[in-house]
Amino acid sequence: MSLKPGDEKTLNRPTFLHEGVFVIQGTMVRVLEVSEGGQEAVVEYTDKEGFPHYIKGVRSEELI
């Protein structure tokens, strides 16, 4: 799958704790950066209060 900055994808990773915030499986995220080769990305997750959180190292197969 080809990822591009600005893409909105569904995060298909089991719910996890990221810097004190639970990131729920199936939530929408926005791709900010894609690594060389397109295998990993930095994504922006917006929590329920509207604050952005940046998650590094998200694999392309975790985004649908």
Beta bridge pairs of residue 55:
43
Q: Could you tell me if residue 1 is inside a domain?
A: no
Q: List, for residues 5-60, the tens digit of each pLDDT value.
A: 999 999 999 999 999 999 999 999 999 999 988 889 999 999 999 999 999 999 99
Q: Domains in the chain: how many in total?
A: 1
What are the C-alpha distances in Å from 31 to residues 2, 6, 53, 54, 62? 11, 5, 12, 10, 12
Residue in the structure block whose two tokens are 């719910």: 15
Q: What are phi and psi of 15, to 5 degrees?
A: -50, 135
What are the C-alpha distances in Å from 56 to residues 16, 41, 59? 13, 6, 9
Q: Could you tell me if residue 29 is inside a domain?
A: yes
Q: Could you tell me if residue 3 is inside a domain?
A: no
Q: Could you tell me if residue 58 is inside a domain?
A: yes
Domain that holds residue 28: 8-62
Q: What is the pLDDT of residue 36?
A: 85
